[in-house]
Amino acid sequence: MPGHVAVVGLGLIGGSVARALAHLGREVVGFDADAGRIQAAADAGVIMRAGSSIGEAAAGAAIVFVAVPVGDIADVAVDALRAGAELVTDVGSVKAPVIRRVEAEAPELAPHFIGGHPMAGSEQEGLAGADPDMFRGTTWVLTPTEHTDPDAYARLRGVVRDLGAEVIAVPPDDHDSLVALVSHVPHLAAGTLMLVASRGSGSERGPLLRLAAGGFRDMTRIASGHPGIWPDICVENREAIVAALDRYLDALAEMRERVAAGDRSGLLTSLEEARHARTNLPIAGLERGPFVELRIPVPDRPGVLAEVTTLAGQIGVNIVDLEIAHSLEGQEGVLVMVVPETGAGDLEAALEKVGYRTSARPIE
Protein backbone atom coordinates (compact mmCIF):
# COMPACT_ATOMS: atom_id res chain seq x y z
CA MET A 1 0.00 0.00 0.00
CA PRO A 2 1.71 3.21 -1.12
CA GLY A 3 1.41 6.54 0.67
CA HIS A 4 2.08 7.63 4.21
CA VAL A 5 -0.06 7.00 7.26
CA ALA A 6 -1.29 9.94 9.29
CA VAL A 7 -2.14 9.81 12.98
CA VAL A 8 -4.20 12.70 14.32
CA GLY A 9 -4.13 12.89 18.11
CA LEU A 10 -0.92 11.73 19.74
CA GLY A 11 -2.08 10.44 23.11
CA LEU A 12 -1.79 6.92 24.45
CA ILE A 13 -3.66 5.15 21.64
CA GLY A 14 -2.63 7.44 18.78
CA GLY A 15 0.98 7.30 19.95
CA SER A 16 0.86 3.50 20.17
CA VAL A 17 -0.62 3.22 16.66
CA ALA A 18 2.09 5.55 15.34
CA ARG A 19 4.88 3.59 17.02
CA ALA A 20 3.51 0.26 15.81
CA LEU A 21 3.17 1.54 12.24
CA ALA A 22 6.71 2.94 12.33
CA HIS A 23 7.94 -0.49 13.44
CA LEU A 24 6.20 -1.91 10.38
CA GLY A 25 8.25 0.44 8.23
CA ARG A 26 5.46 2.87 7.36
CA GLU A 27 6.05 6.56 6.99
CA VAL A 28 4.09 8.09 9.85
CA VAL A 29 3.00 11.72 9.83
CA GLY A 30 1.55 13.06 13.05
CA PHE A 31 -0.68 15.91 14.03
CA ASP A 32 -2.07 17.06 17.35
CA ALA A 33 -3.95 20.20 18.39
CA ASP A 34 -1.27 20.57 21.09
CA ALA A 35 1.93 21.75 19.38
CA GLY A 36 3.99 20.68 22.39
CA ARG A 37 2.77 17.16 21.98
CA ILE A 38 3.71 17.11 18.29
CA GLN A 39 7.19 18.21 19.24
CA ALA A 40 7.43 15.57 21.96
CA ALA A 41 6.26 12.88 19.53
CA ALA A 42 8.83 13.95 16.94
CA ASP A 43 11.59 14.09 19.57
CA ALA A 44 10.69 10.63 20.85
CA GLY A 45 10.71 9.20 17.33
CA VAL A 46 7.02 8.31 17.56
CA ILE A 47 6.34 10.13 14.29
CA MET A 48 8.67 10.75 11.37
CA ARG A 49 7.18 14.02 10.33
CA ALA A 50 4.83 16.58 11.85
CA GLY A 51 1.87 17.79 9.85
CA SER A 52 1.17 21.52 9.98
CA SER A 53 -2.60 20.88 10.04
CA ILE A 54 -5.05 18.00 9.87
CA GLY A 55 -5.49 18.61 6.16
CA GLU A 56 -1.79 18.77 5.44
CA ALA A 57 -1.13 15.56 7.42
CA ALA A 58 -4.03 13.77 5.73
CA ALA A 59 -3.46 14.90 2.15
CA GLY A 60 -2.51 11.87 0.07
CA ALA A 61 -2.45 9.58 3.11
CA ALA A 62 -3.19 5.89 2.52
CA ILE A 63 -4.80 5.78 5.96
CA VAL A 64 -5.58 8.36 8.61
CA PHE A 65 -6.05 7.16 12.18
CA VAL A 66 -8.13 9.66 14.15
CA ALA A 67 -7.30 9.33 17.86
CA VAL A 68 -8.89 12.45 19.32
CA PRO A 69 -11.63 12.75 21.99
CA VAL A 70 -14.89 11.15 20.93
CA GLY A 71 -16.73 14.45 20.51
CA ASP A 72 -14.17 15.71 17.95
CA ILE A 73 -13.79 12.61 15.79
CA ALA A 74 -16.42 13.38 13.14
CA ASP A 75 -15.03 16.85 12.39
CA VAL A 76 -11.47 15.60 12.13
CA ALA A 77 -12.55 12.66 9.95
CA VAL A 78 -14.41 14.93 7.54
CA ASP A 79 -11.42 17.29 7.34
CA ALA A 80 -9.14 14.34 6.58
CA LEU A 81 -11.47 12.93 3.91
CA ARG A 82 -11.82 16.34 2.27
CA ALA A 83 -8.05 16.74 2.27
CA GLY A 84 -7.87 13.67 0.06
CA ALA A 85 -7.11 10.80 2.43
CA GLU A 86 -7.93 7.47 0.80
CA LEU A 87 -9.21 5.91 3.99
CA VAL A 88 -9.99 7.34 7.43
CA THR A 89 -10.62 5.39 10.58
CA ASP A 90 -10.81 6.21 14.27
CA VAL A 91 -10.18 4.58 17.64
CA GLY A 92 -13.04 6.01 19.71
CA SER A 93 -15.31 4.04 22.00
CA VAL A 94 -18.57 5.30 20.49
CA LYS A 95 -19.35 4.55 16.86
CA ALA A 96 -22.88 5.13 15.50
CA PRO A 97 -23.26 8.87 16.24
CA VAL A 98 -19.81 9.57 14.77
CA ILE A 99 -20.54 7.59 11.62
CA ARG A 100 -23.94 9.26 11.22
CA ARG A 101 -22.32 12.67 11.50
CA VAL A 102 -19.68 11.87 8.87
CA GLU A 103 -22.39 10.47 6.57
CA ALA A 104 -24.49 13.59 7.03
CA GLU A 105 -21.65 16.03 6.42
CA ALA A 106 -19.82 14.28 3.61
CA PRO A 107 -22.06 11.55 2.19
CA GLU A 108 -19.94 11.15 -0.94
CA LEU A 109 -16.79 10.51 1.10
CA ALA A 110 -18.34 8.48 3.95
CA PRO A 111 -17.71 5.08 2.26
CA HIS A 112 -14.04 5.73 2.99
CA PHE A 113 -14.57 6.38 6.70
CA ILE A 114 -14.67 3.17 8.72
CA GLY A 115 -15.24 3.27 12.45
CA GLY A 116 -12.84 1.35 14.64
CA HIS A 117 -12.36 0.61 18.32
CA PRO A 118 -9.28 -1.20 19.61
CA MET A 119 -10.24 -3.05 22.78
CA ALA A 120 -6.91 -2.24 24.34
CA GLY A 121 -5.61 0.19 26.85
CA SER A 122 -3.14 0.59 29.59
CA GLU A 123 -2.71 1.94 33.06
CA GLN A 124 -0.31 4.38 31.44
CA GLU A 125 -1.52 7.68 30.16
CA GLY A 126 -0.54 9.94 27.31
CA LEU A 127 2.22 9.73 24.79
CA ALA A 128 4.71 8.55 27.41
CA GLY A 129 2.79 5.29 27.72
CA ALA A 130 2.63 4.70 23.96
CA ASP A 131 3.60 1.12 23.20
CA PRO A 132 3.94 -0.40 19.73
CA ASP A 133 2.90 -3.80 21.14
CA MET A 134 -0.26 -2.49 22.79
CA PHE A 135 -2.52 -4.20 20.27
CA ARG A 136 -0.84 -7.62 20.09
CA GLY A 137 -3.35 -10.33 20.90
CA THR A 138 -6.18 -7.87 21.45
CA THR A 139 -9.43 -7.46 19.58
CA TRP A 140 -10.06 -4.49 17.34
CA VAL A 141 -13.66 -3.83 16.42
CA LEU A 142 -14.42 -2.40 12.98
CA THR A 143 -17.90 -1.16 12.19
CA PRO A 144 -18.48 -1.31 8.43
CA THR A 145 -21.88 -0.16 7.20
CA GLU A 146 -23.85 -0.76 4.04
CA HIS A 147 -22.04 2.24 2.55
CA THR A 148 -18.53 1.07 3.38
CA ASP A 149 -16.18 0.63 0.46
CA PRO A 150 -15.15 -3.05 0.47
CA ASP A 151 -11.60 -2.45 -0.72
CA ALA A 152 -11.06 0.20 1.91
CA TYR A 153 -12.36 -2.21 4.51
CA ALA A 154 -10.08 -5.04 3.38
CA ARG A 155 -7.11 -2.67 3.42
CA LEU A 156 -7.86 -1.35 6.90
CA ARG A 157 -8.42 -4.87 8.14
CA GLY A 158 -4.98 -5.88 6.88
CA VAL A 159 -3.26 -2.95 8.57
CA VAL A 160 -5.03 -3.56 11.88
CA ARG A 161 -3.98 -7.21 11.76
CA ASP A 162 -0.44 -6.09 11.03
CA LEU A 163 -0.63 -4.21 14.34
CA GLY A 164 -1.17 -7.61 15.98
CA ALA A 165 -4.91 -7.39 16.66
CA GLU A 166 -7.74 -9.70 15.76
CA VAL A 167 -10.46 -7.92 13.82
CA ILE A 168 -14.13 -8.39 14.51
CA ALA A 169 -16.83 -6.62 12.50
CA VAL A 170 -19.83 -5.37 14.45
CA PRO A 171 -22.66 -3.09 13.28
CA PRO A 172 -22.13 0.41 14.77
CA ASP A 173 -25.33 0.44 16.85
CA ASP A 174 -24.63 -3.02 18.22
CA HIS A 175 -21.13 -1.91 19.13
CA ASP A 176 -22.49 1.07 21.01
CA SER A 177 -25.05 -1.03 22.91
CA LEU A 178 -22.39 -3.56 23.75
CA VAL A 179 -19.85 -1.07 25.08
CA ALA A 180 -22.62 0.71 26.99
CA LEU A 181 -23.29 -2.62 28.69
CA VAL A 182 -19.78 -3.93 29.24
CA SER A 183 -17.84 -0.71 29.65
CA HIS A 184 -19.79 2.52 30.07
CA VAL A 185 -22.50 1.31 32.48
CA PRO A 186 -20.01 -0.73 34.54
CA HIS A 187 -17.89 2.40 34.88
CA LEU A 188 -20.86 4.46 36.06
CA ALA A 189 -22.05 1.62 38.31
CA ALA A 190 -18.63 1.26 39.92
CA GLY A 191 -18.33 5.00 40.48
CA THR A 192 -21.81 5.14 41.97
CA LEU A 193 -21.13 2.22 44.30
CA MET A 194 -17.98 3.94 45.49
CA LEU A 195 -19.88 7.19 46.06
CA VAL A 196 -22.63 5.48 48.03
CA ALA A 197 -20.11 3.62 50.18
CA SER A 198 -17.98 6.67 50.87
CA ARG A 199 -20.97 8.87 51.61
CA GLY A 200 -22.21 6.38 54.19
CA SER A 201 -23.73 8.29 57.03
CA GLY A 202 -23.60 7.67 60.75
CA SER A 203 -20.98 5.19 61.81
CA GLU A 204 -20.28 3.93 58.30
CA ARG A 205 -17.39 6.29 58.21
CA GLY A 206 -14.40 6.28 55.97
CA PRO A 207 -12.08 4.36 58.26
CA LEU A 208 -14.43 1.40 58.39
CA LEU A 209 -14.13 1.09 54.62
CA ARG A 210 -10.80 -0.60 55.26
CA LEU A 211 -12.95 -3.63 56.01
CA ALA A 212 -14.01 -3.70 52.38
CA ALA A 213 -12.72 -6.96 51.00
CA GLY A 214 -11.42 -7.94 47.60
CA GLY A 215 -14.83 -8.11 45.96
CA PHE A 216 -15.54 -4.46 46.68
CA ARG A 217 -12.03 -3.48 45.64
CA ASP A 218 -12.43 -5.41 42.38
CA MET A 219 -15.80 -3.85 41.70
CA THR A 220 -14.71 -0.27 42.25
CA ARG A 221 -11.26 -0.50 40.67
CA ILE A 222 -12.33 1.09 37.39
CA ALA A 223 -13.64 4.09 39.31
CA SER A 224 -10.04 5.02 40.09
CA GLY A 225 -9.29 5.92 36.46
CA HIS A 226 -9.12 9.51 35.25
CA PRO A 227 -12.71 10.67 34.73
CA GLY A 228 -11.79 13.20 32.03
CA ILE A 229 -12.93 11.12 29.06
CA TRP A 230 -16.26 10.04 30.54
CA PRO A 231 -18.47 13.12 30.14
CA ASP A 232 -17.68 13.07 26.42
CA ILE A 233 -18.40 9.34 26.11
CA CYS A 234 -21.62 9.64 28.10
CA VAL A 235 -22.87 12.45 25.91
CA GLU A 236 -21.91 10.75 22.63
CA ASN A 237 -23.29 7.35 23.60
CA ARG A 238 -26.15 8.79 25.60
CA GLU A 239 -28.93 6.72 24.00
CA ALA A 240 -27.25 3.36 24.41
CA ILE A 241 -26.05 4.15 27.95
CA VAL A 242 -29.49 5.29 29.11
CA ALA A 243 -31.04 2.17 27.60
CA ALA A 244 -28.50 -0.12 29.28
CA LEU A 245 -28.77 1.75 32.60
CA ASP A 246 -32.54 1.36 32.48
CA ARG A 247 -32.20 -2.37 32.00
CA TYR A 248 -29.72 -2.49 34.87
CA LEU A 249 -31.96 -0.39 37.13
CA ASP A 250 -34.95 -2.63 36.37
CA ALA A 251 -32.99 -5.80 37.06
CA LEU A 252 -31.56 -4.37 40.29
CA ALA A 253 -35.03 -3.32 41.44
CA GLU A 254 -36.20 -6.90 40.83
CA MET A 255 -33.28 -8.18 42.87
CA ARG A 256 -34.21 -5.74 45.64
CA GLU A 257 -37.77 -7.12 45.65
CA ARG A 258 -36.42 -10.63 46.01
CA VAL A 259 -34.38 -9.57 49.03
CA ALA A 260 -37.26 -7.61 50.56
CA ALA A 261 -39.59 -10.58 50.09
CA GLY A 262 -37.07 -13.06 51.49
CA ASP A 263 -37.39 -14.99 48.20
CA ARG A 264 -34.61 -17.51 48.74
CA SER A 265 -35.29 -19.59 45.66
CA GLY A 266 -35.59 -16.55 43.38
CA LEU A 267 -32.28 -15.22 44.72
CA LEU A 268 -30.59 -18.58 44.26
CA THR A 269 -31.89 -18.97 40.72
CA SER A 270 -30.75 -15.47 39.68
CA LEU A 271 -27.34 -15.79 41.26
CA GLU A 272 -26.85 -19.22 39.74
CA GLU A 273 -27.73 -17.84 36.33
CA ALA A 274 -25.24 -15.01 36.89
CA ARG A 275 -22.57 -17.44 37.99
CA HIS A 276 -23.13 -19.60 34.94
CA ALA A 277 -22.87 -16.57 32.66
CA ARG A 278 -19.73 -15.30 34.37
CA THR A 279 -18.05 -18.69 34.31
CA ASN A 280 -18.80 -18.95 30.60
CA LEU A 281 -17.74 -15.41 29.77
CA PRO A 282 -15.83 -15.94 26.54
CA ILE A 283 -12.20 -15.02 26.68
CA ALA A 284 -10.67 -13.00 23.91
CA GLY A 285 -7.81 -15.03 22.59
CA LEU A 286 -5.63 -15.46 19.59
CA GLU A 287 -7.09 -17.68 16.96
CA ARG A 288 -5.75 -21.20 16.74
CA GLY A 289 -5.87 -23.56 13.81
CA PRO A 290 -7.00 -25.63 12.04
CA PHE A 291 -8.57 -23.16 9.64
CA VAL A 292 -11.03 -23.37 6.79
CA GLU A 293 -11.24 -21.17 3.72
CA LEU A 294 -14.76 -20.14 2.80
CA ARG A 295 -15.45 -18.81 -0.69
CA ILE A 296 -18.67 -16.88 -1.10
CA PRO A 297 -19.80 -15.47 -4.44
CA VAL A 298 -21.19 -12.04 -3.68
CA PRO A 299 -22.77 -9.27 -5.70
CA ASP A 300 -20.18 -6.52 -6.01
CA ARG A 301 -21.82 -3.94 -3.78
CA PRO A 302 -20.78 -2.49 -0.42
CA GLY A 303 -23.57 -3.69 1.86
CA VAL A 304 -22.59 -7.32 1.35
CA LEU A 305 -19.30 -6.97 3.16
CA ALA A 306 -20.89 -5.44 6.24
CA GLU A 307 -23.55 -8.13 6.25
CA VAL A 308 -21.15 -11.04 6.01
CA THR A 309 -18.56 -9.75 8.45
CA THR A 310 -21.02 -8.61 11.09
CA LEU A 311 -22.85 -11.93 10.77
CA ALA A 312 -19.57 -13.66 11.60
CA GLY A 313 -19.05 -11.27 14.51
CA GLN A 314 -22.52 -11.91 15.86
CA ILE A 315 -22.09 -15.66 16.01
CA GLY A 316 -18.60 -15.26 17.43
CA VAL A 317 -16.66 -16.59 14.46
CA ASN A 318 -13.35 -14.87 14.06
CA ILE A 319 -12.34 -13.95 10.52
CA VAL A 320 -8.64 -14.71 10.38
CA ASP A 321 -8.14 -13.50 6.85
CA LEU A 322 -10.31 -11.81 4.29
CA GLU A 323 -9.86 -11.01 0.64
CA ILE A 324 -12.19 -9.71 -2.02
CA ALA A 325 -11.68 -11.20 -5.46
CA HIS A 326 -13.49 -8.95 -7.90
CA SER A 327 -14.90 -10.50 -10.99
CA LEU A 328 -13.72 -9.06 -14.24
CA GLU A 329 -17.25 -8.17 -15.21
CA GLY A 330 -17.73 -6.07 -12.11
CA GLN A 331 -21.09 -7.62 -11.34
CA GLU A 332 -20.11 -10.29 -8.91
CA GLY A 333 -17.05 -11.01 -6.82
CA VAL A 334 -15.87 -13.71 -4.50
CA LEU A 335 -15.36 -13.06 -0.83
CA VAL A 336 -12.62 -15.31 0.46
CA MET A 337 -12.48 -15.70 4.22
CA VAL A 338 -10.31 -17.82 6.45
CA VAL A 339 -12.02 -18.85 9.69
CA PRO A 340 -11.27 -21.38 12.43
CA GLU A 341 -12.60 -24.83 11.59
CA THR A 342 -14.59 -24.82 14.84
CA GLY A 343 -16.80 -21.97 13.67
CA ALA A 344 -16.86 -22.63 9.91
CA GLY A 345 -19.98 -24.80 9.94
CA ASP A 346 -21.96 -22.30 11.97
CA LEU A 347 -20.93 -19.47 9.70
CA GLU A 348 -21.80 -21.38 6.54
CA ALA A 349 -25.21 -22.26 7.96
CA ALA A 350 -25.84 -18.64 8.96
CA LEU A 351 -24.76 -17.37 5.55
CA GLU A 352 -26.88 -19.89 3.69
CA LYS A 353 -29.85 -18.92 5.81
CA VAL A 354 -29.67 -15.36 4.46
CA GLY A 355 -29.20 -16.54 0.88
CA TYR A 356 -25.46 -16.89 0.24
CA ARG A 357 -23.87 -19.92 -1.36
CA THR A 358 -20.65 -20.93 0.29
CA SER A 359 -17.94 -23.43 -0.42
CA ALA A 360 -15.33 -24.49 2.10
CA ARG A 361 -11.96 -26.16 1.98
CA PRO A 362 -9.59 -26.92 4.82
CA ILE A 363 -6.30 -25.05 4.91
CA GLU A 364 -3.18 -27.10 5.49
CA angle 347, 351, 352 (to 5 degrees): 120
Binding segment for a copy of itself among 47-55, 106-114, 191-199, 299-307 (CB under 8 A)? 191-199
Comparison of 52 and 201: residue with beta carbon closer to a copy of itself:
201
What's the CA gap between 90 and 76, in Å, rounded? 10
Binding segment for a copy of itself among 74-82, 103-111, 153-161, 189-197 (CB under 8 A)? 189-197
What's the closest the beta carbon of residue 100 comes to a copy of itself, in angstroms? 17
Can you state the angle between helices 238-260 and 185-198, rounded to 10 degrees? 50
**Does residue 354 belong to the site contacting a copy of itself (CB under 8 A)?**
no
Figure out which of the listed residues 33, 62, 178, 360 binds a copy of itself, where binding follows CB under 8 A: 178
Site for a copy of itself in 81-140 (CB under 8 A): 119, 121, 139
Figure out which of the listed residues 8, 38, 188, 351 binds a copy of itself, where binding follows CB under 8 A: 188
Look at residue 142 and give its three-state secondary structure.
Answer: strand
What's the closest the beta carbon of residue 211 comes to a copy of itself, in angstroms? 6
Cβ(175)–Cβ(95) below 8 Å: yes
Cβ(35)–Cβ(10) below 8 Å: no
Comparison of 22 and 168: residue with beta carbon closer to a copy of itself:
168
DSSP letters for 7-39: EE--SHHHHHHHHHHHHTT--EEEE-SSHHHHH
Cβ(143)–Cβ(95) below 8 Å: yes
Site for a copy of itself in 193-212 (CB under 8 A): 193-198, 200, 202-212
Contacts of 63 (CB under 8 A, 6+ apart): 1, 5, 6, 85, 86, 87, 88, 89, 155, 156, 159
293 CB-contact burial (10 Å; exposed 0-12 / middle 13-18 / buried 19+): middle
Contacts of 270 (CB under 8 A, 6+ apart): 255, 258
Figure out which of the listed residues 16, 89, 143, 177 binds a copy of itself, where binding follows CB under 8 A: 177
Comparison of 89 and 237: residue with beta carbon closer to a copy of itself:
237
Cis amide prior to 290 (ω within 30 degrees): yes
What's the closest the beta carbon of residue 126 comes to a copy of itself, in angstroms? 17
What's the CA gap between 283 and 358, in Å, rounded? 28
Figure out which of the listed residues 44, 181, 360, 363 binds a copy of itself, where binding follows CB under 8 A: 181
Site for a copy of itself in 246-275 (CB under 8 A): 246-249, 251-253, 255-256, 258-260, 262, 264-265, 267-268, 270-275
Q: Which of 339, 327, 334, 345 is nearest to 304 (CA)?
A: 334
What's the closest the beta carbon of residue 212 comes to a copy of itself, in angstroms? 4
What's the closest the beta carbon of residue 138 comes to a copy of itself, in angstroms? 9
Site for a copy of itself in 212-241 (CB under 8 A): 212-213, 215-228, 230-232, 234-235, 238, 241
Comparison of 275 and 301: residue with beta carbon closer to a copy of itself:
275
Binding residue count for a copy of itself, defined by CB under 8 A: 101
**Does residue 174 belong to the site contacting a copy of itself (CB under 8 A)?**
yes
What's the CA gap between 198 and 257, in Å, rounded? 25
